[in-house]
Structure 1
Amino acid sequence: MPMIVGVVAGAAVLALVFIVVVFKLMWRVAEPNEALIISGSKHRMEGLEEGMGFRIVTGRGTLVLPGVQAVRKLSLDLNETELSVDCVTHQGIPLKVRGVVIFKVGDDFVSIANAGRRFLDQQKLMSERVHNVFAGHLRSIVGGLTVEDMIRDRDKLTGQTRAACGTEMEKLGLIVDSLQIHEIEDPTGYIKNLAMPHAAAVQRDARIAQAEANRLATEAEQQAAARMAEATRDSEILQAGYQAERDNAAATSRQAGPLAEAQARQEVVVQETRVAELKAHRREQQLQADVRKPADAKAYEKRTLAEAERDVRISAAQAKAKETELAAAAEATRVTTAASAEAEATKARGAAAATATRATGEAEAAAAQARGIAIAESTRAKGLAEAAAIAARAAALAENQEAVVAQQLAENWPEIVKAGAGAFGNVEHMVLLNGAEGMSDMFTKALTMGGTGLGLARQLLASMNADGRVKGGGSPVNGATSGGAGSSSKRVPLDGES
């Protein structure tokens, strides 16, 4: 009994194994990218003609009777073929069109059946057949187009080619996934020549655009530079204004010293002038009190010395005043020149120029004031001295007219001698018997002949006024005589004079 059970179990197992093996041999499964074409039995499928003698299985499994039915596979993968077609356009221009066609067997049973009948054993020739189909239609379509149409509208060329090949591809059981025209070669250079005007226009526009960009950049740079220059100018103007203020303060401080010194010198000159006036007045009073007729010459000498000393001091005071005036004018001129140059250079420092001008005016006013005071004091001192001299001479003339006449004769002695020597002007030859003594006698006679010397003295006395001046605007008795042109006089010292 156990043996029977074991035999039955073994037979069952063998039967099961046999069934599995037979099933594996009979069962076929179609991959997603392939179609199984099973021939050897008649099957009716939707869309196919009745009794075509094979059936198509896609995406599922099916039983196949070994030895009775044959199973073959048709690939549904994508395929591509390169297009390189020599064409001639409507214009007669030869071109070479390069592209690619991507195609596959259609997914419907009709396309699979058509492709199976034509390419089941010749799938490697599928690309060649497709290339031939597209090459023929492409030549035909290009022959009806111009180069310009092909360049400007490639989609039109592509669409017409696909439309023309659609019917034939459907008969072959193929569908076109993509048709791309990669390149249109022009061995004659027509396309290049056609593009040259456009390229030139593009280059022109590019150059114009570049030039415009350069212009805008240059304008921007110039504007930036102008703004920088304007900022620099404003900064320099502000700095110049501050510098002008500093220079003005420095000039004011520099002028303060010379102005104070000039004022001090002016006071010194004034005081010296007053002292000189007091001394002269005192000496004049002393001389008037002490000098009498026997001492007229000595009094005259002292007065003359006092006048000379006073003239020296007055000249020194005038020189100092002139020096002060020139120093103030030079300093004012320097300040004015500096301020004017600074104002002309900056053109924006009106306030600084006004301040400089005001300082210059003050300096000039101070200099003019000092100059006027010095001149006034000098004139006053000179007038007082002349008045004193005139009074003294008038008094001397009233008291001792003979001394005055003697002084006038002494001062005009060169003219007297000249007039006496005129008697010998027309003498060509003169014989002297007693030598130098005879010459002295003759010269003495010439001087007294006709009253030449005494006559000149009488004329001087008659022409003198009570104030000691010669009639007709002549010089005082102590001055030079009013001789002719080119005449000169020399003062003869009196008694007691050196």
Structure 2
Amino acid sequence: MGLIIAGAAAAALIIVITLFKLMWRVAEPNEALIISGSRHRTEGVGDGLGFRIVTGRGTLVTPGLQGVRRLSLDLNEAELNVECVTTQGIPVRVKGVVIFKVGDDEVSIANAARRFLDQQKLISQRVHNVFAGHLRSIVGGLTVEDMIRDRERLTGETRAASGLEMEKLGLIIDTLQIQEIIDPTGYIKNLAIPHAAAVQRDARIAQAEADRLATEAEQEAAARKAEATRNSEIQQSSYQAEMDTATARARQAGPLADAAARQEVVVQETRVAELEARRKEQQLQIDVRKPADARAYDTRTTAEAARDARISAAQAQARETELAAGAEASRVRVAAEADAEATRVRGLAQAEATTATGQAEASAAEARGLAEAAAARAIGLARAEGIKARAGALSENQDAVVAQELAEQWPQIVRAAAESFGNVEHMVLLNGADGMGELFAKALAMGGTGLGLARQLLSTVGPDGVTATAPAAAVPVETVPVDAVPVDAVPVDAVPVDTVPVTPSDRAPEQR
């Protein structure tokens, strides 16, 4: 019984394993499993597509209910062989290669699965058609020269134009290369002809230059060869001449030996004479010239020493004078600068003092002016009051006032009359003491005459202060003799100013 149960369990396990193997599918790294037969949600591709995408892992598939197909993710290659026409109207054939594959994302795999799942062998042809159309369009806007010189531009524009359609197909471009541009009309070959001709020209010029240089080198080599030949022949001739000279000398050896012997005798005698002359000259040098040279050297040395001493003394004196002059100039400059600074300071101080003094003097002058003005005003007021009082007194008792003034001024009048005699150096009196008495009596009579004149003047002043006219004969002319009193006998200041009657017009404005 146990064996039966164990066998049944083993059989069930085998069945389960078999079923699991039948249902389990694993996606290889270079493929994608497309599982269809039920509704599945695929991110980015919409809902209800009816298939599921599995990459790089395993999944369970229900046999009979779901179908599993594989989409290759390997690289694919499409050969390009496209006939195009450039913007110049020149037909060309462009050969290239496109390497592409299905994208790794589920969107690209879904797009490729819906288009190429059963036609994976036709993918290269479809890609060729896509690139052929875009390549013809792009070549139609370029010239042959642009295509030749800038293939990167052609490649980049073709790849950019085909990228959107390849993305819709679920494909991505790994690489695109333009391998060859075939020109059936020979346009490209003709483009190369000028360059080839230029290259050939440069090659011929280079060859001609090389030939010229080679010819010059050959000529120089030939010239050097000729020069070497000439030098060799000249040297050979020289050697031959030397050989001939030696032969001739050999033939003349005997006579030459005799002549040489005689010559040697003459030479030796000449040398003896020269030695004797040199001995005499040296003796002359020792006896005469050396002492003379010594004396001359002594004299010259002494003179040069004295000259050098004088020059040194003069230079020292000049240097001392220069230093003294420099020191004196520095001292004078410093003193001048100090004097200038002191003068400037004194000038500033004097200016300030002058300003202060002027201000003080102005203030003092102003004060003195104010004081003098006040004093003058007070004096004027006092004099006006005095004049007013005297005028009142005169109007009441003229004789008393005049008598008082004359009495007060009588000593000055007498002194003035007496001083007039001080200027007289010699006085002659005809009648002695009587004449002297008469003279003094006349001098004293002047006082009474003055009193009479004052009274007459006062009598001419009316009650309202107006002077009345009086007859000219009112005062006798002979009352006082003109020559009785000297002109300077009575000083002008002997009579006070305020004794003169004051008319109303002479009074101060405040007293009118």
TM-score by length of structure 1 reads: 0.47
Bigger Cα Rg: 2
TM-score by length of structure 2 reads: 0.45
